[in-house]
Structure 1
Amino acid sequence: MRNPWLIAFLLWLVAIVLAVFALRQLPLANLLRTAFQLSLWQLLVWIALNLAILLLSAQRWRELLLALATPVSRMRLLGNRLAGQTISFLTPGPQFGGEPLQVFWLVRGTGVALHRALLSLSLDRLIELWVNFSLLALGIVFVLGASDSRLPQGLPALGALVLLLALSSALLFLLLRRPQRWLPTLKRWCQHWLQHPRLAGLDIQWEQLDRDLSRLPVEHLKLLFRCLLLSLLSWAAILAELWWLMNCAGIHPDPAGFALIAVSIRLAMLLPLPGGIGTIEAAVVWALPTLGAGVAEAATLILLMRSRDVALLICGFIALGRQHRPVNTRECQPPKA
């Protein structure tokens, strides 16, 4: 039987080794002075972009809860998501890790029914992954079309992404088209989250989940449109933040070069290393020289990105401490007829 602690330790070890290997190639002298010469308005724009990313993500989850007649405050979901992202960052694989705790905090903190918390978060993650794979595939196509030599072995990666995109698209369409047929599959999917120690003692009534699924077909197209629009706006903010950081680091790439950096970073984040530590550094160190940027600019960009991660982690730990507030059932009362 695999030991999860041993696996996590080994992945952290690999991440640290990769990070050290990448950073050893960078000129660290005067790096802090260069990176922290940002003006006040540059910092304010940077903060605003990150707030937009977080708020759009929380609003997408809120839209799904509203479709299930379960209104929850946006700030509550924002704190929940920040705390969950902190757990995800510290566990292998930055994409997942904090979902069971997000479900637990939502149930405990607002009194939302467990089946609705599971359903809303499952759909939220499915839509997010669908948009991520879609835009990543488009980015690879754009980079390959601009310069075949910039992305070695890009076609196999593109083929795998197109396959995953087709699969996630089919799942999303079928789930919203005939949601009742997916109840057994959804049960199996949620069982993994329910094995978490925080959720193991909570009861879930699957027949209520079945009834909630029946709500979706009525307005599933409008709901899907709103969620996809929020996801695209979130991605626009993510790309704008990356472009802003590159400009702050003195890097001014053309559209193809910017796409290469963005694709390289996102691919690095898919690897099962906590927080993309080591893989993101290696991706930046590999990609920027192909655009004519120096290692000093690469080091500055890495420092800025990791400074953002540290700031988000601090906010996440604060949000973690606030997840123990008493239950406020007024936040999730269904609207009166």
Structure 2
Amino acid sequence: MKLLPTLAVLAFGLGAGGAVHAQQWPAQPVRVVVNFAPGGAADLLARVIGQPLQEALGQPVVVENKAGAGGNIGGQAVAEAAPDGYTLLMSSGGMVSINPHLYAKMPFDPAKDLIPVAAVARVPFYLVVRADGGPKDFQQFIADMKAHPGKRSFGSPGNGTSPHLAGEMMMSATKTEAVHVPYRGAGPALTDLLAGQIDFLFDPGIAIQYVKAGKLKMLAVASPKRSPQFPDLPTLDELGLKDFDADAVFGLYAPARTPPAVVEKLNTQVNRILGTAAVQEKIIGMGNIPEQMSPREFGDKGSLDFKRMGAIIREKGIKAN
């Protein structure tokens, strides 16, 4: 007869212990795994918010790069980590919305093994061509593509990456064809564009210095809204490709079953940090856009992109490298 009260007390004790754990968090350094190489958008964003997050939490925030397999290696490391709030993932949304469509067998399920914590930035992709001899505007660009079907080429960081899908989405919408050239990163693709080896690419922001130097030209941005750094640059939607949105939202994820109170605390602090002028200036200077979302909003964005990106991947028959 005393069994039920005993279990009730035990259950209460466990629940209270979980609440106390969340209130005391963090009591040790927090590790942020970046699932892409140093110097990329995910790495830079992790470091932009890392210092102010460290100050807010009162514990060291250590950034660690685990690149490979389109972000799957770093993603798996976090998915298999203890769900205690001390191991987080900074990733593009592509690992959640794109990779499950590309890889026949993934070592983990991003939708089940990870939970969204906080968005950090919307990363727009800029349609970039050479300034010397390239088309003057988007209309001329499309006219040239239609006049030379399959004769033009574009680069990307690899098959199935967001810049690659942006190009495929544009060609599908405009009924044009170009040869896709996958590289091992956005940097090598940019180098070949500057050298004239390829004709265009969708740039995540690393080409901005060359645009400002007059070596490259931006024709459009593949976002639903104009870039705050380039307010005069039209969106592809404005140029006739209705509802075109190839943006990637980068942000923080945690292992499934991480205490909700810890997730809420992280989300609150990250959104506060994103509202500061200093961090906004740094993110916009990278060509990106600070993005404040609740965990639910961040998750809903990933679900929507999963459907949109899956459709173009199936239409084009895209496979992982």
TM over 0.5: no
Give the structure-1-normalised TM-score. Answer: 0.29
Instruction: Looking at secondary structure, tell me which structure has more strand per residue.
Output: 2
Instruction: Looking at secondary structure, tell me which structure has more helix per residue.
Output: 1
